[in-house]
Chain A
Amino acid sequence: MRDDILLRVEKPARYIGNEINMIKKNPEEVDIRFAFCFPDVYEVGMSHVGLQILYYFFNRRSDMYCERCFAPWYDMEEIMRNENIHLFALETGDPLNKFDFLGFTLQYEMSFTNVINMIDLAGIPIWAKDRKEEHPIIIAGGPCAYNPEPLAEIIDLFYIGEGEVSYDELMDLYKENKKNGGTKKEFLEKALKVDGIYVPCFYDVTYKENGEIETFTPNHKDAPKKVRKVIVNDLDKAFYPEKQLVPLIEVVHDRVTMEVFRGCIRGCRFCQAGYVYRPVRERSAENLLDKADNLVKYSGHEEISLTSLSTGDYRDFKKLAGGLVDKFSGENINISLPSLRIDAFSLELMKKVQEVRRSSLTFAPEAGTQRLRDVINKGITEEEILNGCGLAFEGGWNRVKLYFMVGLPTETDDDLIGIAKLSSAIVDKYYEMPKEKRTRGVSVVVSSSCFVPKPFTPFQWAPQATFKEFMAKQKLVKTSMERKQIKFNYHEVQLSSMEGVLARGDRRIGKAIVRAWEKGAKFDGWNDLFKYDIWTEAFKEIGLDMAFYANRQREYDEILPWDFISIGVSKEFLINEMEKALEGKITLNCRSQCAMCGAKSFGGGVCYEV
């Protein structure tokens, strides 16, 4: 990128690459050029652990060069469009349209317009059918690939599952096909035989008069009726990088990140990650402690973070956390411990590794009453929360963050008022301490977001609250808050409503997403940049009803757009969970009692723990 352009944009270092541990290869000497595209701004994308893993996974192949590309910010995009500069990869600065593959990671629905924008900025036709042999193949993976249909006419093929499993086979096929002078279509046909690959152009969809799907059928003999996700069974044997990219500018998370396990034993009924990543598979503490040395050594970071969906559920947690403290506390390296359940042990550990004064404790009760927490199968009781807070207050903490959702199935006004009551009870807990211990006062920050029903959860059939209903609910919570020590924030309602439409969208809404993009939608995940009006107009112009996707009760026998994907968890199980939710019955976590969800069929993880 030219210097005179870099001088004109905000945070020019977003576009210069050359970070610590960046891979350098001669692009002339590889067979496959792959651009890992993160459809958000640099600072967000560079904080993503999946990018760090796949970047080194791809680049361990000598026949492949994986480079990176992020969504340019508004100022840079304007200059690029005015001066006809194509979107480029950071490593070589080469335009993306010279690459063999663009690989997008779909982390959140509201980044879909950025995907489209990046393809367009690269000078590549956005519709798959318009792309020719000379254009790159566009592949996408990540959590939103579990309902790929909204982007089915844009993306050439989707990867359903964990990258370490099938990418080598897919890249070998591509290389072979390219060497033999095969066409893109021939490659896509061959890809049908690779586990976890979905090639949308080989499937046809028909619709009923009422808008529901009538049939969803393969139109190619090799296209599987069901695409089953692929997962790594033994994470200790899977590839894990020795190094990680260290940005030259501040990003969202500046630290060594270690993935402790995948999946979650909890089975919260609203949580897509809790189902699609089943079963839980852990890395051993020995393996992680071993990896930590190099990750710290080659990065120079002064913080290590453990990531997973619920780190407190890690069986070897004491060994891992203790081991990290022993290894690194003498070197001024902080250990950050997100997603912990609060008990005496974790508090003691947190005191050891973190500065008490600055940190606050976080709880996610998600719902305000025990009844509703049972409905969503959030296995935390009021007593546990209050006891945890009590211990923390005694230990010197005085700030608590609470996360809730509104709009959950079966929710009543009592549940909403319960959010305020629980928050007040925590304040009361603080004042139960003797006065001499209450030196700094207490602050409770309550955040409430709007529930978005997601595919592959028991709530995938449930209607989402309408925009108006959400507003009324948030207002009720807000007005119920009485204590001055409580600060209440709520998540952008319009954004969640839109996310609700896209999350359970079908193939037809792709046109509305493109229309919204044409009308200027991008960076929709950014509250201040999101423009709801554009989206409502776009859906109107395409002739689609947003309420059909978001606010409608679906029947169990309806063909859902993502039904052709198998996550290993059976539909019967999800139906049963939905029914249990309505009865307020909980399901025990995977380690307490197997709920027979179906994920055992993968042959590994928690299902086979002894």
Chain B
Amino acid sequence: MKYRIKFSKVGKIRFIGHLDLLKVFQRAIKRGKIPISYSKGFNPHQLMGFAIPLPLGMASVGEYLDVETSEEIPPEEIMSALNNVMPEGIQILDVRKFTKSDRSCAAVLEAALYEILLDDKIIDFSEIIKNMFLQNSFEIEKISKRKTKIEDIKPDIFSLEEISNDKFTFFRTIISAGSQRNLKPELLVKYIYKYMGREYEPLKVKYKRIELFKNNNGEFLPL
């Protein structure tokens, strides 16, 4: 039996990395007495898979993982059992049973929605963005482990909308995520700063992931 679990990771616990989060879930599943299935072989491990790692330090209210159990249990029981044993900051928001057409959350993931707060008040931010999008391409250096290359990230941005308040510049953006194409939100922010001709200071930007999407005939739907 497979289930999809939606959860949030906020507060201090966002300072644990992905592999540690995996362990936190494994132990919570044991404490919650969820009849999890194990892989076969010499070193059995719990059958679970996350949609995509959340970078250390980033908060999220829209994370997903799939788990497989050896027997059927009502989704709301899984939810309450896990919420009773989760460390502070991780909350199970929803659990649903897999439907026939469901594939693993990692496989169907295509985009992610982020809220990004710039510790800075940028005047006419919406105007700047509008002009930015008039360009044909957003070229920026992408540094990976092996090489550095120039990449156009414009096709990875599906929407970008300002939601600023009096003090800070604040925006929401949907960008590509997953195994096919993946854009780190930080690269987008770096590009925006580059476009504005300002210096990007990593510690002055706060990122929060809001939702992960699959593509349903051209429409983004939550996983």
Contact = CB atoms under 8 A, between A and B. Distances in A.
Contact of A332 (B15, B38, B56, B89): B38
Contact of B26 (A8, A300, A355): A300
Given A299-B27, A302-B30, A248 B57 contact: no
Nearest 10 interchain pairs by C-beta = A300-B27, A300-B30, A300-B31, A12-B15, A16-B12, A249-B20, A13-B16, A13-B15, A248-B16, A18-B88
Given A18-B12, A300-B85, A355-B43, A250 B56 contact: no
A7 B26 contact: no
Interface of A: 3-4, 6-8, 12-13, 16-20, 246, 248-250, 254, 296-302, 331-332, 355, 357-358
Contact of A250 (B23, B31, B85, B88): B23
A194 B31 CA distance: 41
Nearest to A15: B15
A357 B42 contact: yes
A4 B203 CA distance: 7
Contacts of B12: 6, 16-18
B82 to A, nearest CB: 11
A296 B16 CA distance: 23
B88 to A, nearest CB: 5
A16 B13 contact: yes
Nearest to B43: A355
Nearest to A298: B31
A296 B19 CA distance: 21
A16 B15 contact: yes
Contacts of B15: 6, 12-13, 16
Given A18-B87, A20-B27, A7 B57 contact: yes
Contact of B87 (A8, A248, A302, A357): A248
Contacts of A296: 30
A256 B141 CA distance: 47
Contact of B27 (A13, A246, A332): A246
A249 B89 contact: no
B29 interface: yes
B157 interface: no
A4 B15 CA distance: 11
Contact of A249 (B16, B30, B31): B16
B20 A248 contact: yes
Interface in B1-53: 12-13, 15-17, 19-20, 23-24, 26-31, 38, 42-44
Nearest to B38: A332
Contacts of A249: 16-17, 20
Greatest chain A CB density within 10 A among B15, B20, B30, B38 is at B15
21 contacts: A4-B203, A6-B12, A6-B57, A8-B203, A16-B12, A16-B15, A20-B31, A248-B16, A248-B24, A249-B16, A250-B20, A254-B23, A296-B30, A298-B31, A300-B29, A300-B85, A301-B27, A302-B26, A302-B27, A355-B42, A358-B43
The B interface, classified by DSSP as helix, strand, loop or mixed, is helix
Given A6-B12, A12-B57, A254-B23, 5 more contacts: A13-B17, A16-B13, A20-B31, A248-B20, A300-B31
B26 A19 contact: no
A328 to B, nearest CB: 11
A18 B20 CA distance: 14
A330 to B, nearest CB: 11
Contacts of A297: 31
A467 B73 CA distance: 65
B203 A299 contact: no
A298 B16 CA distance: 21
Contacts of A16: 12-13, 15
Contacts of A248: 13, 16, 20, 24, 87
Contact of B44 (A250, A298, A300, A332): A332
A391 to B, nearest CB: 22
Greatest chain B CB density within 10 A among A16, A297, A301 is at A16
A358 B31 CA distance: 27
Interface in B53-103: 56-57, 85, 87-89
Contacts of B24: 248
Contacts of B87: 18-20, 248
Greatest chain B CB density within 10 A among A20, A355, A358 is at A20
Contacts of A298: 31
A3 B38 CA distance: 37
A357 B41 CA distance: 12
A300 B28 contact: yes
A358 B42 CA distance: 9
A164 to B, nearest CB: 27
A291 B92 CA distance: 30
B17 to A, nearest CB: 8
A271 to B, nearest CB: 35
